[in-house]
Amino acid sequence: MPTTSFDLTGRNALVTGSSRGIGLALARGLAEAGANVILNGRDEAKLEQAAEALRAQGHAVDTAAFDVAAPEAVKAGIAAVEARHGGIGILINNAGIQHRTPFVDFTAEAFHKVQATNVDGVFFVAQAVARGMIERKAGKIINICSVMSELGRANIVPYTAAKGAVKMMTKALCAELARHNIQINGIGPGYIETELNVALMTDEKFSAWVEARTPAGRWGKVEELVGAAVFLSSPASDFVNGHILYVDGGLTASV
């Protein structure tokens, strides 16, 4: 297949939760493939700092600060982006939060907060962006799932429930939107070295468990998610739909 099948030149790509970590790495990867990238988050200062770093590398970058869990803010934010740049051709739903507490101690407030960002946010942003994609009969939506979309682990029951929901939302969106030439897929990261995982990475016992549990024998790097994101954003994946691509060093393939 010609390399032009992975070319994103001229495509507008919105990446939620992209002021740092996985979201920023994916945004950089799409920009390197030619996309015009719009970074999203709630903190305007952090977004602008991330945007300046990408612009310094020669990339076309804009920012859109809004809370993905607030439906009206999402509608206004998407409308503003499309007014400035035209239609959004690629959406990566990356915004998410984690909260670790034993199941019996999880408060209702904490439970709903995890669902609001990790599930509601995916729904609201995809809905707002999909309307334009349906009109244009083209689009790519990539939802960031997790190995917890398939597996369970103690102390993160609401997160696991949320990521399972995102997996099934991805499949249902495919069933409804594929006829409009919209491809909706997911990426399921394994244990990845990010700022949010520093406490786990420096926990010798936990880190040893990750390395022993993962067939590749190590933590993943954020850059190792980029290839999957570029593939699922590009014409190379035009007949791939409703699929969850696990980038996990083999964790979900083994016991």
Q: Is 246 a catalytic residue?
A: no
Instruction: Choose, from 66, 123, 124, 159, the residue flagged as catalytic.
Output: 159
Instruction: Decide if 225 contacts 194 (C-beta within 8 A).
Output: no
Q: 127 Cβ partners below 8 Å, 6+ apart?
A: none
Which residues on adjacent β-strands are paired with residue 38?
14, 62
Q: What angle do CA 205, 247, 91 make, to 5 degrees?
A: 125
Instruction: Compute the Cα dihedral for 40, 41, 44, 50 and give only its sign.
Output: negative
10: left (phi over 0), alpha (psi -120 to 50) or beta: left
Least Cα distance to 133 among 84, 91, 74, 167 occurs for 91
Of 20, 21, 15, nearest to 40 by C-alpha is 15
So which residues are the catalytic ones?
159
